[in-house]
Structure 1
Amino acid sequence: MPQLNPGPWFFIMLISWLTLSFILQPKILTHISTNTPTNKPNKPLTTHPTPWNWPWT
């Protein structure tokens, strides 16, 4: 059965993972985000939401 022959597909998968691991991953990890996260002060919730008014009740 040709589906069980891993010859050509295993080589393609191996080359793809090596490319991702050694070439693309270091470039992605060195990327610096332009929007740095900031801490927001915790404010207590002072307003209570109003319940939904269903039109058919």
Structure 2
Amino acid sequence: MPQLNPNPWFFIMLLSWLTFSLMIQPKLLSFPHTNPPTSKSTTAAKTTPWAWPWT
């Protein structure tokens, strides 16, 4: 059974991870973020109570 022999499959997995880590990942990380994080304001929003028409 060739599935029990890890030799070719381990090499393919290792080669694919190296390709991803060394070639594809830096290209993806170089793109600018579409929604950069901003600092959250510390002031709470002013809320008004709802005026129910039946009360």
Name the TM-score class by shorter chain: 0.5 to 0.7
**Which blocks of at least 5 consecutive residues in structure 1 are unaligned?**
48-57
1:14 aligns with 2:17: no
Q: If the length of structure 1 is used for normalisation, what is the TM-score?
A: 0.58
Distance 1:38 1:20 in 2: 30
The 5 Å alignment of 1:15-54 reads 15-44=15-44
In structure 2, the CA distance between the partners of 1:34 and 1:46, relative to structure 1 (3 Å rule), is closer
After superposition, the C-alpha distances for 1:10-48 in whole angstroms (9 at most, x for unaligned) are 11111111111111111121121122221121124777x
Identity of aligned residues (%): 60
SS in 1 for 2:22: helix
